[in-house]
Chains A and B, each alone.
Chain A
Amino acid sequence: MIDQPRRAVILLAFFVIAILFPYLMRVCGQEYFIGLASRMLIYGIAATSLNFILGYGGMVSFGHAAFLGVGAYVAAILVVSGWSSALLAWPVAMVVSAAVAFLIGLITLRTKGVYFIMITLAFAQMLYYVTISMKAYGGEEGLNVPRPSIPWLNLESDTEFYYVAFVLVCAIIYLMHRVINARFGRVLMAISENEVRMQALGYKTMHYKLIAFVLAGTIAGLAGALLAAQNSFVNPSIMHWTSSGLLLFMVILGGVRSKYGGLIGAIAFLGLEDFAVNIQIDWLANWYPSYSQHAMLLVGLVLLIVVLFSPRGIVGFFANRGGHVHE
């Protein structure tokens, strides 16, 4: 790991930039980026929750977007039905996501390896088709939804929404940090390393995995609710399998089994995607005018390079090459 002082400096720099960000963007007349940054933070929450079960629990879920979708739809449906307080809509979205995660986990966690990957994917796709069939809530077209309200804050303001997302991502990362270093986290990591031996020490490993799975699903549900609010829109593609793939992509890009891996991966991915789609590269446009339609090629290339040269993701670039495993 990076030594303590350097780590503190990097963290402090990130905090300062993050806090001043909306102000700086407004000064530069680039308000667009405030919304992009909010999306980065929200995806950071979702990717952090996936990293918790994937990195520390060894559960490679290819259906994590299911919880993102459940959270988004529950919050959106509550808001369009007149329950417009975020303090109601978001917690309810989390509770429903937790319940769905419990049911899915109960079944999927009986499998391992490739089977677990495929069955989580299958559940997410099932929910995807459920939302397509919900004609009352827009079906395939999706659903426009006003932003919910919070007392004393104006979530309609992109700047204030950004700060809400920022506080929440900090809270979630801190929560994960505590859980990972508590007895529960230690048990979870040991299970991911040698599950049968944990049973031979007297642990009911299924319980621990299920709790971790539900916790991750709950947090992803919160991210979904935030995402629906941020976009003022939700449609089924939020839980399409490519969305689950995206979250995996972010975790791997940022750094598996790292506290900040999810957030860093989300920032890097969405930043790169935005750059590839929106920035005009003249010489490339002259040579191949419709190149921006294939912008995701660039993103894929970057992932390839990161995986090849730093298996521990962007975080790995900064870490020592030593064999230390735990944070």
Chain B
Amino acid sequence: MSTNDFLLKTVNIQKRFGGIVATRNVSLEIMNGEVHALIGPNGAGKTTLIAQLSGLLVPDSGQIFFGSRDISRLSLSDRVKIGLARSYQITSIFRSFSVLNNIALAVQARKGSSYSFWEPVVSDSELFEEAFAYVKEIGLAQRSEVIAGQLSHGEQRQLEVGLALATMPRLLLLDEPMAGMGPEESENLVTLIAKVRERVTVLLVEHDMDAVFRLADRVSVLVNGELIATEVPDLIRSSEEVKRAYLGNDTAT
């Protein structure tokens, strides 16, 4: 596959909740190797769209392709297996497990069998060595034995991204990874994303415009469930339509 090929493509997907159209005829293409940002005001349907891409929700109509494969009906766990992983806007980690054990769960999911009923997992050094490499990468090496529920908010957000990363995806869906982070923590995460983009394609949903414009190759704008533009960052910044719909009254967030 050359870099000009798309990795993920949606064709006219649509999702309704009762009378509300949360996703309206969205056709989105994410190219191999790019960082693609998805922005839009609160309630635009970004999380609903991510939920359909990751397999948590099934679109009412339309199709989703991953590479050349139609994955519209594939389950959440099966999509992870073929290389489509996500992080959550609302932190979703294993709070009673240590940081290292959190990541080990993600590594274990793709390495060897989890249908092992006899050998103690603690002696599984290969598993934990690989897991620790990810813990280091997300900047939590000093905190690897800490129970995840006791981490600071920013650290939990880092672990959230780490969980998705450790599944070794080809496409990483990051749903507002910087939500609630301080400036310094955001900076760490921007650095991390800039580093992993070397090996992973990224769809970044984010309100932090500074991060979006620094990281993204292309930006898509979602308003009221509808995709109104997909352009390079400079054009998005200067587009009147985007400004009107979104940036004009919402930049402060």
CA distance A200 to B93 in the complex (A): 11
Chain A: minimal CB distance from B38 (Å): 18
For A, the interface residue count at a CB cutoff of 8 angstroms equals 27
CA distance A204 to B78 in the complex (A): 8
Known: A183-B121, A183-B124. A197 touches B56 (CB 8 A): no
Tell whether, in the assembled complex, residue A325 and residue B96 are in contact, meaning their CB atoms are under 8 Å apart. yes
B98's nearest neighbour on chain A, judged by CB, is: A326
Is A8 an interface residue when CB atoms closer than 8 A count as contact? no
Known: A181-B121, A182-B119, A190-B105. A202 touches B77 (CB 8 A): yes
Tell whether, in the assembled complex, residue A182 and residue B75 are in contact, meaning their CB atoms are under 8 Å apart. no
Known: A179-B117, A184-B114. A200 touches B76 (CB 8 A): yes
- Report chain A residues within 8 Å CB of B183: none
CA distance A185 to B124 in the complex (A): 14
Is B125 an interface residue when CB atoms closer than 8 A count as contact? no
CA distance A107 to B164 in the complex (A): 31
Known: A201-B106, A202-B77, A202-B81. A183 touches B96 (CB 8 A): no
For B, the interface residue count at a CB cutoff of 8 angstroms equals 39
CA distance A181 to B76 in the complex (A): 27
Is B72 an interface residue when CB atoms closer than 8 A count as contact? no
B106's nearest neighbour on chain A, judged by CB, is: A201
- Report chain A residues within 8 Å CB of B108: 183, 186-187
Query: 1/0 per position for A190-222, CB-CB distance to B under 8 A?
Result: 100110111111111100100100000000000
Is B80 an interface residue when CB atoms closer than 8 A count as contact? yes
Query: 1/0 per position for B74-111, CB-CB distance to A under 8 A?
Result: 01110011000110100011111100010011101110
- Would you list the 5 A-B pairs with minimal beta carbon distance, nearest first? A202-B80, A202-B109, A183-B116, A199-B76, A325-B96
Residues of B whose CB lies within 8 Å of any CB of A are 54, 56, 75-77, 80-81, 85-86, 88, 92-97, 101, 104-106, 108-110, 112-122, 124, 147, 163-164, 167
Residues of A whose CB lies within 8 Å of any CB of B are 178-179, 181-187, 190, 193-194, 196-205, 208, 211, 323, 325-326
CB-defined A-B contacts under 8 Å, sample of 17:
A179-B118, A182-B117, A183-B112, A186-B121, A190-B105, A193-B94, A193-B96, A194-B94, A198-B105, A200-B77, A200-B80, A200-B164, A201-B106, A203-B114, A323-B147, A325-B96, A326-B96
